[in-house]
Every structure is written in structure tokens, then in C-alpha cells.
Amino acid sequence: MTARQGHLFIVGGREDREDDMEVLKRYVDLCGGPDARIAVLASASALLENVRKAYDQAFDQLQVHNRIWVPVTDRREACNDAYANQLAESDGVYITGGDQKRLLATVGGTPIENALRRALRERGACIGGTSAGASAMSEHMLAAGTSGLLPEKGAASLAAGLGFLRHVVIDQHFSERRRLGRLLSAIAQNPGLIGVGIDEDTALVIGADRSLEVLGSGAVTIIDGRHIRSSYLDAAMHERLEILNVALHLLPAGCSYRLASADGSPVSDSSVPEAVRDILWTMTSIDDENR
């Protein structure tokens, strides 16, 4: 394992790629700076050239010239060992937006997915994902749903994600697209999960050193439904749900938490919300060779 700690860099979409670029600057910093080797994976998108142009321009402005474009668009390409090795040997991988179902149907269970895990585990890489790439980060992925203002039965459906976080489900474009009702619907159906909603141009950064920070122009909403009571089981499909005893935490940009000291020993801090502690401890271990 390298001295550098791995990070998950989870972006709610529409990160600034032209002006201050606070989110992308921090991503580059966690990869090791402008000289880092950064791979861009756009398997979630059907508009590859548009996506490539946008990120080429952004990384050019940030003086990141040691980058590669990994053109994986189908499962045959996702089984290409050369592409997988490019990802595994990178200091950072950035998974672009698009459709998270397309992303998992393309790379799920392939050498590409294994390479992402190797990069995190063996190189301490920064694995980033924006929009669809953000939703795919967790073990349970929000695959589809409606964006009604109130939670309804059947308003969200889940699928398997990449699994870098366990017992978590992530939604993106959260405040801008009014997705609180959708995420509450998902949690009512699956109360053992912790819901994480990330605003646009906002990043949730989770470190293998058990650290968490929020940066950008918005906030991260955390929904902990593990103690809830709801009408989900008795409700008809698309009926609005009664949900009681749900815990909601709002972490604006600038918030940070740490559960381990510099030497790796645990830090006891009762001010850290239970849901935040659990998110940090359920990040897939970079030492777990079997994941």
C-alpha cells in the first residue's frame, strides 16, 4: 500500500469546469497535483465526444497533461486488459455523468471494475464520480425514480452499484431537482440504508483514513432511516408515505469530520453524527483483497 491514502470523490453533477473550478482543483490535488496520472472513464455517457471535449478543456486549464481517455463503451472493451491496466496504474480516475444503468451494464463485474478497486487499494488513488458516476459509487445504486416533492411508494428503484460504500444509497443534482422525496422513498423501502443527496457543483470527499469533507457551492443531505416507522408496507403503489422518526443531517460546504488520528488510531468524538460515522466505517476497505 502506498503512503498516499485513497479517496472517494463523489460529485453531485454540473461541477464548475470553466471559472474557479474549486471542486476539480481539489480533485486534482487529491490525485497528487497537476503531474498526477488521471484517467477519465465516460462509460455512462452516450455523448462521448461532447464529454471528452468538456473535460479536456477543464483539465487543460488545471494544467493536468498526464491524463488518459479510456474509451470503454461496451462489455467487450470493458474486458480489454490494456484499458484495465491503464486505470489500475492511475493516480486518479474520474467517472463522468450520463446514465448509471449504462455504466454498470458496461463495466459491472469486468476487469474495468476490478481495476478501479486496484487503483484505490494499491496506489491510494482518488476515485471520482460525478452525477451518474456519483450514484454508481455505492453498493446500492439508485437506478431510476420520479422527483415528486413528497415520498411515494414506488418512486425509487435500486440496482447494484460499484460498491465502494456499503449500506449507502446516493442521489445527485439533489436540491436543484428537488429529490428529497425520491430519496426518502428509497429509504422507506430500504430503511437499513443511509441516504446521501449531493447538490450540484458539490463534492463529498471520503478518505480511507476515515475522513470526510464537503466542498463546492452546495451541501450534502444525509438521511438516516434506520429507526423510522413508515406506511410503506400498507401503502398502495404511488401512494404518499407517512414517515416518522427519520433523522436528517445537512452538511454545507466547509464541513469536515475525522474518525482517526494521524497515526491511524480511532478518535472518540460524540459530536460526529451516527450516520456520518457509519458512512466512514462502511467505505470498502482498501486492504480487502477479495472486493
Catalytic residue among 135, 173, 185, 230: 173
Q: Which residue has the higher pLDDT, 19 or 265?
A: 19
Distance CA 277, CA 291 (A): 21
Q: Shortest CA distance to 185 belongs to which of 250, 130, 239, 131?
A: 239
Radius of gyration from C-alpha coordinates of the chain: 18
**What is the distance between the alpha carbons of residues 60 and 51, in angstroms, rounded to a whole number?**
14
Whether 161 shows a pLDDT value over 90: the answer reads: yes
Q: Mind listing the pLDDT tens digit for each residue in 53-95?
A: 999 999 999 999 999 999 899 999 999 999 999 999 999 999 9
For 7-281, CATH number out of 3.90.1570.10, 3.30.1330.180, 3.40.50.720, 3.40.50.880 equals 3.40.50.880
Q: Which of the four pLDDT bands, split at 50, 70 and 90, describes residue 145? A: confident
Query: Which of 151-155, 179-183, 270-274 comes out lowest in average pLDDT?
Result: 270-274
Distances (CA, A) of 220 to 114, 140, 239, 256, 291: 28, 18, 27, 12, 27
Catalytic entry in 15, 139, 200, 213: 200
Nearest to 220 by CA among 255, 177, 259: 255
Q: Which three cell numbers stand for residue 158?
A: 435500486
How sure is the predictor about 262, in pLDDT bands with cuts at 50, 70 and 90?
low
* Nearest in space to 83 (alpha carbons), one of 33, 46, 73, 63: 73
User: Is 242 an annotated catalytic residue?
Assistant: no
**pLDDT band per the 50, 70, 90 thresholds, residue 286:** very low
CA distances from 7 to 88, 175, 204 (A): 15, 24, 10
Q: Which long-range contacts (CB under 8 A, 24 or more apart) does 229-237 make?
A: 230/188, 230/191, 232/153, 232/188, 232/189, 235/153, 236/153, 237/153, 237/154
8-48 per-position pLDDT tens digit = 999 999 999 999 999 999 999 999 999 999 999 999 999 98
200 as an active site residue: the answer is: yes
Instruction: Determine whether 271 is an active site residue.
Output: no
Tell me the three cell numbers of residue 72: 470503454
Confidence of residue 5 (pLDDT cuts 50, 70, 90): confident
Domain ranges of the chain: 7-281
Q: What mean pLDDT is reported for the chain?
A: 92
CA of 204: how far to CAs of 188, 233, 256, 264, 286, in Å? 23, 32, 10, 21, 18
> Which of 131, 135, 185, 230 is labelled catalytic?
131
The secondary structure element, H or E, covering residue 122 is: helix 111-123
Q: What percent of the chain has pLDDT over 90?
A: 84
